[in-house]
Amino acid sequence: MELRNVTGFSKFLLLGLSEKPELQPLIFGLFLCMYLITVLGNLLIILAVSSDSHLHTPMYFFLSNLSLVDISFTSTTVPKMIWNIQTQSKVITYEGCITQMYYFLLFAGLDNFLLTVMAYDRFVAICHPLHYMVIMNPRLCGLLVLVPWIMSALHSLLQCLVLLQLSFCPDLEIPHFFCELNQMIQLTRSDTFLNNMVMYFGAVLLGGGPFVCILYSYSKIVFSICGIPSAPGKYKAFSTCVSHLSVVSFFYKTGVGVYLSSAVTQSSYSNATASVMYTVVTPMLNPFIYSLRNKDIKRAVKRFLGMVAIKGPVVLGLKKCT
C-alpha cells in the first residue's frame, strides 16, 4: 500500500469491537443503553445539585463538573460507533478522526484533573475543617476547574499537532471503535519517536502527576482520620471519601488495565474491548456510585424528581384549560 499524508484525502475505517454481522444488533443495543444511562444519570446529578441550594458547596460543584465531563467524554466515541452500526458504515473522515482524538484526550485529561481536585477538596475538609470555607473560596474553586481545562486543551492540541506530521496509508483500517492515539501511532509507517516521547510525557503529566497528588491527599486524610478519638467521628470522616475513592480506584484500575493488556496481548480487538471499561462503563457507573453512597445526593435527586412530577400535571392542566 502506498504511504502518504492523508490531510487532503478522505477516510479511515473503524472496524469496531467485532466484524461479525450477527453481533452488530447486540452491540448496538448494549451501547445505546449504556450511553443513555450515562447521559441521563450524569444529567440528573447536575440538575439535582443545581436545583438544591444545600448542595451549592465546593464538593458538589466539582461533582457537577465531573458529571458534565463524563457526558462529554462518552459522547466523543459512542454516538459515532452507534451511527456506524446503524448505517452499516465504518467510515470516519481524517478530519473527524483528528477531531475525535482531540476531544477524547481533552475530556480524559479533565477526568484525571477533576478527580485530583476532588481529592484535594476532601483533604482540606478533613484535615483543615475549620478553615475549609476560607480555603475553598469561590475564586479558588473556579481556578481549580479553569486550570485543568487549559492544561487538558493544550495537551490534546499538542498531541494532535504532532500526530498531523505522520503519514498514513489510504483507507486505513483501525481495529478499534474510535480513533485512539496509541493505536494511530502504531498503525503509521512514519518515524514515531517524537510522537512516543510526547505521548509518554503526556501520560506522566496527566496520569502520573494527578495520581501522585491523589495518593498524597489520601495519605494525609488517613493520618488525620486515625487521630480522631471517637469511632463515630472516624466513620463520618471516612464516609465522605468513600464515593470518591470508589470512582478513583475504578477509573485508574480500568485505565491501567487497558494499557497493561495492550502490552501483554497483540490482539487489537482485545484492547478495544478493554477500552470500553474506562471510556463507557466508568462514566456510566459514576452517578450510581455517588448517588447510592451519598444521602445528600439521594435527597436532592428525590426532591428534583418530585418537583418535576408536580410541575408536569400542572402544565398539562394549564394546557387543558386553554
Query: How do residues 93-132 score in pLDDT, each as one tens digit?
Result: 889 999 999 999 999 999 999 999 999 999 999 999 899 9
Bigger pLDDT: 137 or 290? 137
In a domain, 315, yes or no: no
Residue 292: inside a domain, yes or no? yes
Report the CATH number that the domain containing residue 37 is assigned in CATH.
Answer: 1.20.1070.10
Please state which of the ranges 69-78, 190-199, 218-227, 233-242 shows the lowest mean pLDDT.
Answer: 233-242
Structurally, the chain folds into a number of domains equal to: 1
pLDDT at 111: 92
pLDDT single digits (tens) 48-87: 899 888 888 999 999 999 999 999 999 999 999 999 999 9
* End-to-end CA gap in the chain: 68
pLDDT value, residue 1 = 44
Give the model confidence (pLDDT) of 47-56 as tens digits. Answer: 989 988 888 8
Domain assignment present for residue 137? The answer is: yes
309 inside domain: no
| Assigned domain for 143 exists | yes
Check residue 317 and give its pLDDT.
56
Quick one: cell of 146? 479553569
Q: How far apart are CA 7 and CA 95, in angstroms?
A: 8
Residue 310 lies in a domain: no
Residue 86 lies in a domain: yes
The DSSP annotation for 81-127 comes to HHHHHHHT--EEEHHHHHHHHHHHHHHHHHHHHHHHHHHHHHHHHHH
Structural domain range at position 285: 11-299
CA neighbor of 203 nearest in space, from 195, 192, 191: 195
Compute the average pLDDT of residues 272-282. 83
Q: Considering the domain boundaries, does residue 317 fall inside one?
A: no
